[in-house]
Chain A
Amino acid sequence: MNILIMLWKNLLRGYQTLLFPAHPRVTPRFRGLVQFDPALCTGCAVCRFRCTSRAIEFKAGKGEFTWSYNPGQCTFCGRCVEGCAEHALKEGHTEHALSQQEAVPPIYTMQGELKKSYTVARRPPAPKPAAPPTPAPTAGEAVPSTAIGGAQ
């Protein structure tokens, strides 16, 4: 009979499950929407190759490239940010992927609006650092031969 009493109490008490918070707490290690800085990007497309969920698209053009990011496909794994040598990608720490519909629409309902696309002009390659001057060989030192088999 205890179970029946318990069911009756539950029925009168209403539901005990909690709604998803309107503003979910964001921890320092939280991985949110990927932020892109076009000024730092060199267009190497490593992020596109590291993205397993194909959320990042990269199209190379003449003198420019287009970088797009679709949060609807993103799994927030952070591999693109990890692989970006120029630190052009960062993880957002403010937007939460999930939320109550009343507060902020969840990402999957506004994929189109959140999709970001940047067309960036390619920067000229940075000049190579000048090679340090090599000291001249002194007399008596053997000059290494580059030819196979040595001097003939």
Chain B
Amino acid sequence: MTVFSPLVTALARLLIFPGLLFAVPAAWFFLWVERKSVALMQGRVGPPFMQPFWDFVKLLGKSTPPRSGVAGLLMRAWPLIAVSAAAGAVGLLPVLPSSGGFEGDLILLLALLELPSICIIAAGFSSRSIFGEIGSAREAALSVSYNIVFLLAIVSIAASQHTFRLDALASAPFTALHWIGILAILVCLPAKLHINPFSLPNAEQEIYAGPMTEYAGPELAMWELSHGLEWVAGTGLIATLVAPHVTAAWLAACIFVAISFAVVLLLSALAAATARLAIDSSVRFYWQCTLIFAVLAISSVLFVRFRS
């Protein structure tokens, strides 16, 4: 029993909560919340509640053009890898108290969060479409820019608590450095989720759908699902870091969902209030404006650590 218990817990986390069984409906729900709230803030009607689900079902029912060779195989593989990585990232989030975990799961979470972005870049280049390649190049440039800040923010939080365990970070006491790190992650989330003002990779008025231009049918459905799961993972990461430590599992789950929902609304308001920035402005924003704060955060953590 002692051997199987961690395995069962890990499987339950990956498949039930906060894994696939929760994450997939939550992904559709967050996509709907984002679209609906942006529409309402812009004076439009917005989609019906079930729209993201029906979009997914509709895309599953369509056929894809036959693609032969390695490029075709890769194009089919990228969305599946992206979905698996995003679902794994959600499954790693320490939502419930004493839900298990291991030393270094934060690093695995960061790798899984980054994988969909790498898949998008590779998918755009695999498709051999000029729009896909431009979108992938933009995604790559943006990824290099925001990831420095994102990683420094996470590392500063981890270094301040002397651990890379997610559940230890989630239950850590709140300090000023903790909040600076969370703020830095929040600043990076719009770029990670491709929403305004950092929606360059899939700028629909300029390059159609960017890396997704050549995708259709079930493969596009998988990309949509992966995008939704990224929403759950990104907002869930903030929620786990912000949520107060409670012992009751149902209360922890409710707090997790409520904070994630609030973050989705905040990001939607940002998306509705801003226009798309050009690639040079976006890169400059992260390298010049936010990087300073991230470097300050990590240097102060290191300073405090060496003094103590």
Shortest A54–chain B CB gap in Å is: 23
Chain A residues lying within 8 Å of B39, measured Cβ to Cβ, are 15
| Contact A7–B272 (Cβ < 8 Å) | yes
B254 within 8 A of partner (CB)? no
Listed stretches B12-20, B42-50, B74-82, B88-96; interface member: B42-50
Which residues of B40-64 are within 8 A (CB) of A?
Answer: 40-46
Shortest B273–chain A CB gap in Å is: 5
CA distance A14 to B43 in the complex (A): 6
Shortest B281–chain A CB gap in Å is: 18
A39 within 8 A of partner (CB)? no
Chain B residues lying within 8 Å of A3, measured Cβ to Cβ, are 273
Shortest B259–chain A CB gap in Å is: 21
Other-chain contact of A7, B45, B46, B269 (Cβ < 8 Å): B269
Known: A3-B273, A4-B273. A11 touches B44 (CB 8 A): no
**Interface size class for chain B?**
10 to 19
**Interface size class for chain A?**
10 to 19
Residue in chain A with minimal CB distance to B43: A16
Chain B residues lying within 8 Å of A17, measured Cβ to Cβ, are 43-45
Shortest B288–chain A CB gap in Å is: 23
Which residues of B20-50 are within 8 A (CB) of A?
Answer: 39-46
Residue in chain A with minimal CB distance to B272: A7
CA distance A15 to B37 in the complex (A): 11
| Contact A10–B45 (Cβ < 8 Å) | no
- Greatest chain A CB density within 10 A among B42, B43, B46 is at B43
CA distance A10 to B42 in the complex (A): 6
A13 within 8 A of partner (CB)? yes
- Greatest chain B CB density within 10 A among A7, A15, A16, A17 is at A7
| Contact A10–B273 (Cβ < 8 Å) | no
| Contact B273–A15 (Cβ < 8 Å) | no
CA distance A33 to B42 in the complex (A): 37
| Contact A11–B45 (Cβ < 8 Å) | no
User: Residues 13-36 of chain A: 1 if any B CB is under 8 Å from the residue's CB, otherwise 0?
Assistant: 111110000000000000000000
CA distance A15 to B43 in the complex (A): 4
CA distance A15 to B40 in the complex (A): 6
Chain A residues lying within 8 Å of B45, measured Cβ to Cβ, are 15, 17
Residue in chain B with minimal CB distance to A10: B43
Residue in chain A with minimal CB distance to B39: A15
Chain A residues lying within 8 Å of B43, measured Cβ to Cβ, are 10, 13, 15-17
Which residues of B86-141 are within 8 A (CB) of A?
Answer: none
CA distance A14 to B41 in the complex (A): 8
Shortest B264–chain A CB gap in Å is: 15
Chain B residues lying within 8 Å of A11, measured Cβ to Cβ, are 40-41
Chain B residues lying within 8 Å of A7, measured Cβ to Cβ, are 41-42, 269, 272-273
Chain A residues lying within 8 Å of B272, measured Cβ to Cβ, are 7
Residue in chain B with minimal CB distance to A7: B41
CA distance A10 to B41 in the complex (A): 5
| Contact A15–B44 (Cβ < 8 Å) | yes
Chain A residues lying within 8 Å of B44, measured Cβ to Cβ, are 15-17
User: Residues 247-281 of chain B: 1 if any A CB is under 8 Å from the residue's CB, otherwise 0?
Assistant: 00000000000000000000001001100000000
Would you mind naming 6 contact pairs between A and B with Cβ atoms under 8 Å apart? Answer: A7-B272, A7-B273, A10-B42, A10-B43, A15-B39, A17-B43
Please name the 8 residue pairs, one residue from A and one from B, whose CB atoms are nearest each other, closest first: A16-B43, A7-B41, A3-B273, A15-B45, A10-B43, A10-B41, A11-B40, A17-B44
Binding site for A on B (CB under 8 A): 39-46, 269, 272-273
Binding site for B on A (CB under 8 A): 3-4, 7, 10-11, 13-17
